[in-house]
Structure 1
């Protein structure tokens, strides 16, 4: 019997900041793959709240214990091009995508078709958001934090501290 091929997944996004929804998808993806690459998108025309290094450190701090508990491994990497190229670069045979609802689904189905045409060796797997996280978005978390709101329900504690430190303006 031939040894089973290592299942490598790639989960891409900006993760600015990582939310409980992202962490839920990461946890569930780690039950499907042996190794998960969390690919952090870098776009030179955008100014993220958190640096790549901060995002990578937060993801690894939150996700590594989960991976270890599930018998999998996880790494972070940056990418600035096509997701299918990032998957190839990291030896991933599956792209993990989280879906929050119908709007995400419509967009993602189009992307699957394009990605499959560009690289038929890489499969895409959709994981639907858990009911308790499907309304969370990084954009809303940043907005709430910038207005002094409580984001503790939407992000892990480490992320909350980093986002609040970055988003709060000094008081006069």
Structure 2
């Protein structure tokens, strides 16, 4: 039986912090399902279909990850329902700073209450990527700053096109 982890997020856009979490997870799971949320709580820079395309280009074209270990999907349901659909009992979450922990701790508890077979695994990105957030990447892009240390080439191209 395959060990599958669900990595939910908005990925608006994907950053090296997200990518670190995926790399680390692939050391102990057989497959990571990058689940891109189309929830209505946020105003997204990129629509869902573009976010999927950006994530796929970053992972498979820029970084040459193998498609057999990673699926990129969209969802607009509870993460626990997605776990049931993919027969996964692992939710991956990235932690950047202590400030992330309280929200993530509550979310993990709620997910566990919704589906008691779920384990949330928290992973930290490498030190040089812990400060990166999609929000900051978008702000830097909006002001035509240098994004090379924060995300992949194809993602930078998409950001520049959006803010042109």
Give the TM-score normalised by structure 1.
Answer: 0.86
Tell me how far apart the structure 2 counterparts of residues 67 and 109 of structure 1 sit (CA, whole Å): 31
Tell me how far apart the structure 2 counterparts of residues 44 and 107 of structure 1 sit (CA, whole Å): 19
Select the residue among 82, 87, 90 that pairs with 1:91.
87
Q: Answer yes or no: is 1:18 the counterpart of 2:17.
A: no
Residue 8 of structure 1 deviates from its aligned partner by 0.5
* Inter-CA distance 122–45: structure 2 relative to 1 (3 Å threshold): closer
* More off after superposition, 58-67 vs 33-42: 58-67
Question: Helix, strand or coil for the counterpart of 1:114?
Answer: helix
Residue 45 of structure 1 deviates from its aligned partner by 5.1
Partner of residue 46, structure 1: 42
Residue 167 of structure 1 deviates from its aligned partner by 1.3
Partner of residue 106, structure 2: 110
* Structural RMSD (CA): 1.5
Any conservation in 1 of the 2:13–2:134 contact (CA below 8 Å)? Answer: yes
Tell me how far apart the structure 2 counterparts of residues 39 and 73 of structure 1 sit (CA, whole Å): 14
Any conservation in 1 of the 2:58–2:155 contact (CA below 8 Å)? Answer: no
Question: Helix, strand or coil for the counterpart of 1:132?
Answer: helix
Select the residue among 65, 74, 78 that pairs with 2:70.
74
Q: Answer yes or no: is 1:31 the counterpart of 2:27.
A: yes
* Inter-CA distance 125–67: structure 2 relative to 1 (3 Å threshold): farther
Tell me how far apart the structure 1 counterparts of residues 154 and 57 of structure 2 sit (CA, whole Å): 9
Tell me how far apart the structure 1 counterparts of residues 48 and 87 of structure 2 sit (CA, whole Å): 22
Q: Answer yes or no: is 1:147 the counterpart of 2:139.
A: no
Residue 44 of structure 1 deviates from its aligned partner by 3.2
* More off after superposition, 137-146 vs 42-51: 42-51
Gaps of 5+ in 2: none
- 1:81-122: CA deviation from partner (whole Å, max 9, x where unpaired): 321122212222200110001111111111111111110112
